[in-house]
Amino acid sequence: MNIQTFTGTVVNREMLTDDVLFLSMTVPETFSFKAGQFITIKITRERVTRLKSYSLFNPPSRKGKLDFCIKIIESGFASEVFKKTKVGDTFELKGPFGHFVFDENNGLQEHWFLGAGTGVAPLYSMIEEYVRIFPQQKFVLLFGVREQKNLFYNREFMALMKKHHNFSYVPVLSREQWSGKKGHVQDHLPQDVSGKTFYICGLKELVLETKELLMKRGVSSDCIKSERYD
Ligand SMILES: Cc1cc2nc3c(=O)[nH]c(=O)nc-3n(C[C@H](O)[C@H](O)[C@H](O)COP(=O)(O)OP(=O)(O)OC[C@H]3O[C@@H](n4cnc5c(N)ncnc54)[C@H](O)[C@@H]3O)c2cc1C
């Protein structure tokens, strides 16, 4: 894929939870990417400019518009800018970047996706794209957050599960008692790991712990793909 620099114009902005912002930007129709990749957004604040990376949330088959879900971190450099972002604002974007993409050719029939918080963004893009393309293959998403109120896109994931019988959505809460899955998201990985690929996205600790656990269970490194947000 060609790396391009282009302008994104904000066309939608909403808080999905207390601290997760959904941003949608129109971009040139010619921009293309693979599900799972990210772009950089040039952020200028008080005359300081930094490039910040964000995963593309929408599937690549939808052209001309990019969606992002961004965790707002108190006093974070980019977060403070995104807090004030309005419809009509423009940003300089560059990409696509990254090798965290779906392996279409390994012949395996079951794919497990594990994400925490906004780490679910590239996973959603991959699932939306490939669940239709490979209806005979099984896709499972383990989505870890603290409490029910943090489960953004819950309705969309439920709808996707209804629409595609080869997709299972498993939300996992670490800080609230409920009737669903509880504890660490990685505790819900399958014991039998044969014939499966694993895609992990989130902060360092989650990614490293999950990879170690999978490798201990015998998964080879070429069946584990990961993206770290820090
Ligand atoms: C390839 C890649 C893709 C990414 N995609 C996304 C994405 O889709 N959505 C998204 O929200 N972020 C994503 N990130 C993280 C993002 O680039 C920024 O690091 C994040 O938005 C914080 O930036 P900031 O300038 O607001 O805070 P900063 O001023 O850079 O950081 C403030 C502090 O918060 C910590 N921190 C960073 N991220 C988190 C987090 N998620 N939870 C808790 N603490 C954190 C940092 O370690 C730092 O100590 C991605 C990072 C990479 C490398």
Model confidence pLDDT, tens digit, residues 133-175: 999 999 999 999 999 999 999 999 999 999 999 999 999 999 9
How far apart, in Å, are the Cα atoms of 147 and each of 47, 132, 152, 156, 171? 38, 30, 11, 18, 10
CA–CA dist 125, 105 (Å, integer): 18
The CA dihedral of 174, 177, 182, 183, to the nearest 10 degrees, is 40
For the chain, the domain total comes to 2
Measured in angstroms, how far is the CA atom of residue 79 from the centroid of ligand 1? 9
Whether 105 maps to a domain, the answer reads: no
Q: Domain containing 219: what range?
A: 110-228
Last residue of a domain, one of 76, 97, 118: 97
The crossing angle, in degrees rounded to 10, of helices 154-163 and 121-133 is 10
Considering the domain architecture, whether residues 86 and 160 belong to the same structural domain is answered as no
Q: Which residues line ligand 1 (CB under 6 A)?
A: 38, 52-55, 68-71, 73, 76-79, 117-118, 121, 203, 227, 229-230
Q: Which residues pair with 69 in a beta bridge?
A: 22
**Is 200 a residue whose pLDDT tops 90?**
yes
CA–CA dist 149, 93 (Å, integer): 31
pTM: 0.97
Measured from the Cα of 117, ligand 1's closest atom is 41
Q: Look up the CATH number of the domain holding residue 60.
A: 2.40.30.10
How far apart, in Å, are the Cα atoms of 212 and each of 61, 66, 120? 33, 33, 20
Measured in angstroms, how far is the CA atom of residue 213 from the centroid of ligand 1? 24
Single-letter residue type at 167: F
Considering the domain architecture, whether residues 157 and 122 belong to the same structural domain is answered as yes
**Is 1 a residue whose pLDDT tops 90?**
no
Question: 106: buried, middle or exposed (CB in 10 Å: 19+, 13-18, 0-12)?
Answer: exposed
- Predicted confidence band at 187 (pLDDT cuts at 50, 70, 90)? very high
Last residue of a domain, one of 39, 64, 97: 97
Whether 102 maps to a domain, the answer reads: no
Q: Which residue among 71, 85, 201 has the greatest number of ligand 1 atoms within 8 angstroms of its CB, and so is best to mutate?
A: 71
Region 204-214 average pLDDT? 97
